[in-house]
Structure 1
Amino acid sequence: MKKNTLFFGVLPAFLMLNACNNAEKKDEGKNDTVVVVTDTVATTVPGNAATFDPSSLPVATADLGEYPYFALPDWVSDDTGYGYDKKSDFGKLEIYTKDGFIPVEGKVFIKGYQMTNGGQRADWDEYRFVKSFSKHFESLGATKLFEGEVPDDAIEGLNKANNRDNYYYEFGTSSHDNLVTYGVQKDNKPIYFAISSNSAGGAIYVIEAEPFQQTIGIIKADKIEKDLAESGKSILYINFDTDKATLKTEGKDAINEIAKVLQKNKDLKLDVNGYTDNVGDADHNLQLSKDRANAVVASLIQGGIDKTRLAAKGFGANDFIADNSTEAGKEQNRRVELVKK
């Protein structure tokens, strides 16, 4: 399955509308966004900074303090209703540099902001917001990687790299907002900051590069057998190649455990149901879940299990069992369920 991908820059619709309204008012007066950040990026595509080296980032020259490494001044309010706030121990952001996008995986923080004055909403000052956070990140020793608008051809290149006509970003599909990105190292760990803004509001993004830690293991035959006996269902997390139905070595180990149960219980018949998280196209996910369920069944048959005892079904992102807005939840939703007939 594809991991969740965030692209810096697009503010939610209500902020965009406010920006348009502000512009209209001004006109009236004048009558007129387990693997760590990869040390090298595997795929070279248009708009992708394939040669970017995270080890080239400067080492922090000041004490960064606690993650996310900034505190709000009293003139900034986080009570915005920003629709894409996110805190996750593991996620992915596409960081834009002057040479293109670089994919970064790790600990993610996203928050939208407005201005406040004595607890009351104040007029938005984009220049002050960007200037203040830029100076703060620079004071930590971070180097500026990009400032400006992300070119459309770079976004198009990222779309093509992900085999999508309109690649799904968590908060938009393109951006003409102002973007400033920074990078720094702390304890040999790359940390990236981004400031996204327009005339209505702004947002800050932080990602601290960390390796993926697998928390899901193989369920053994005795546990599968117990689950089927007690509830008629056993939930497994079988490893496949990303966005494919090809079993990894650990996935084959899980199949062996299922086979042990079927070999022990000769009358047992199973529905093998595949599920995905909700990232990406629904039709694609549905087909992927079917293909993976069929791959499990095919592997069991190849191992000597009678095909009449097995049926493969795919349900895509339907019937999720965990929160799809978190990486941990998505991980749980990417599953195979064995259902006793």
Structure 2
Amino acid sequence: MNMKKTLIILSIGALLAACNKKSEQKTNTAQDTVAIEDNRAAEKSPEEITQFDINSIPVSSAEVGELPFFSFPQGLDFQNKPVQRSYDMLFFPLKGVMTKIEGKVWKTYVINEKSNTEEWSLPYFLKSYDDAITKVGGVKIFDGKVSQKELDRIKEEAKYFGEEGSIDYWNEPVKVYVIRRQNGDDIYIQLYGNTATGAIQILQKLPVEQGGKP
């Protein structure tokens, strides 16, 4: 009887050891699979992982006039003379990837106008522009903070950082909109604000000529 009990105990012990070994093998296999997937993701560039497609945006046929297209919301005004150039380039975070776009540029800091006796309201500034932009067919395509990695990647090329109407990507989230136009002169808008002021940048791409060349 004692020998039978010993054999049964040994058999159970061997069975448990075999089960544990199989469980470890499954765990290791799962970990290897995750590691392989992570490595594949790491091999992809930011553009491959999150690439913005303008064709996903509905075309707007609304009349928008000339740059800067929008008047200041009631009670707000520019802080200094806005920067306006017939040709320049700006980076926009399209799905979080800082993407260079070229065309006509207008940008400025926004504050309360001198006759406004109320305190600065960031929600009012953001909501006013959101209403105006979406009313003419604009679509919000990004709302959040840009990664430090993306800012480091473009810092040598973005020589305009720090001039009038600059966006504080390092500390604040940014909202980005696009108004897609029939002939390709799409309008990109980005804005941000803090407890005292805001900034807005507007760029209209060069129109696409016959044959698809800008």
- Residues 65-84 of structure 1 aligned to structure 2 (within 5 Å): 65-78=65-78, 80-81=79-80
Measured at CA, do residues 49 and 69 of structure 1 come closer, stay the same or move farther in structure 2, by a change above 3 Å? farther
**Structural mapping, 1:1-341, within 5 Å:** 46=46, 51-78=51-78, 80-81=79-80, 85-116=82-113, 119-120=115-116, 122-159=118-155, 162=156, 168-171=159-162, 174-188=169-183, 189-210=185-206
Residue in structure 2 matched with residue 39 of structure 1 by the alignment: none
Which contiguous aligned blocks of 4+ residues in structure 1 show a shift greater than 6 angstroms?
47-50
Which stretches in structure 1 are left out of the alignment for 5+ residues? 1-43, 213-341
3-state DSSP of counterpart to 1:135: helix
Q: 1:202 to 1:106 in 2, by over 3 A?
A: same
Report SS of the residue matched to 1:186. Answer: coil
Shift in Å, 1:72: 1.7
If you compute each CA radius of gyration, which structure gives the higher value, 1 or 2? Answer: 2
- Listed one character per residue, the Cα deviations across residues 117-172 of structure 1 (whole Å, up to 9, x for unaligned) are 7x24641100110011011111111111111221222212334xx5x8xx644317
Q: Is the 8 A contact 2:176 2:188 kept in 1?
A: yes
| Separation of aligned partners in 2, 1:190 and 1:208 | 6
Structure 1: distance between partners of 2:85 and 2:119: 31
For the residues of structure 1 that align with 2:180 and 2:188, how far apart are their CA atoms? 9
Could you tell me whether the CA contact under 8 Å between 2:91 and 2:101 is conserved in 1?
yes
Paired amino acid for 1:124: W
> Alignment partner of 2:186: what SS?
strand
Give the match's secondary structure for 1:51. coil
Gaps of 5+ in 2: 1-43, 209-214
Q: Percent identity?
A: 24
* Paired amino acid for 2:92: I
CA contact (8 A) 1:112 1:202 kept: yes
CA 48–146 in structure 1, closer or farther in 2 if over 3 Å, else same: farther
Instruction: Please tell me whether the aligned partners of residues 50 and 95 of structure 2 are also in contact (alpha carbons under 8 angstroms).
Output: no
Aligned length: 160
TM-score by length of 1: 0.42
Rounded to whole Å, the distance in 2 between the matches of 1:81 and 1:183 is 25
Counterparts of 1:99 and 1:158, CA distance in 2: 13
Q: 2: CA distance between counterparts of 1:169 and 1:150?
A: 17
Q: Is the 8 A contact 1:106 1:208 kept in 2?
A: yes
